[in-house]
Amino acid sequence: MSTVTIIMGSKSDLPVLKGAFDTLKEFGIDCEGRILSAHRTPDAAAELAKNAEANGTKVLICAAGMAAHLAGVIAGHTVLPVIGIPMASAPFNGLDSLLAMVQMPPGIPVATVTAGNAGGKNAALLAIQMLALSNPELIQKLKDFRVKQAEKVLADDKVLRESGYTTLI
Ligand code: RP5
């Protein structure tokens, strides 16, 4: 198993996770993706969680929508950190997933990140920040990433001001 394991409740969640895979790759973190559901494949999901620590996984990322129990169920089977991404699923646009995921009972935490598309990237960055606690090289990469990100915003700001406040597009 890889350092970061990304589990999604359905193949339909995959597009949102592109940001997670891309970001982990950018930072050189080995990761793997699995499609397992807390409801449709409960035994396989539990098995993965129970074996994750022994298999060398350090952080688990779980994406699920609707009655989004995946992250919570995984967290109940392991002491590894679990990051949850609430999917913006219909008909409640992710409010259902968010509430299901963020309301873990005391004793079994899930670190819930941004709902929907941005959640993939933020889940990966949070996982990297966790891994960076024991990896100074990753700390530096995260600092470089922040600098680049800020430079991009400031460059956009400069273009906007120089354009006489017309659109950037
Ligand atoms: C959840 O139900 C999945 O994580 C997905 O977000 C949602 C809908 O699944 P599909 O019906 O698209 O397979 O378990």
65 lines ligand 1 (CB under 6 A): yes
Verify whether ligand 1 is closer than 6 Å to residue 64 (CB atom). Answer: yes
pLDDT by residue for the chain (169 residues), tens digit each? 699 999 999 999 999 999 999 999 999 999 999 999 999 999 999 999 999 999 999 999 999 999 999 999 999 999 999 999 999 998 999 999 999 999 999 999 999 999 989 999 999 999 999 999 999 999 999 999 999 999 999 999 999 999 987 765 5
Q: Which two tokens stand for residue 63?
A: 């994406």
Distance 145 CA to ligand 1 centre (A): 32
Helix/strand number for the chain, H first, E second: 6, 5
97 lines ligand 1 (CB under 6 A): no
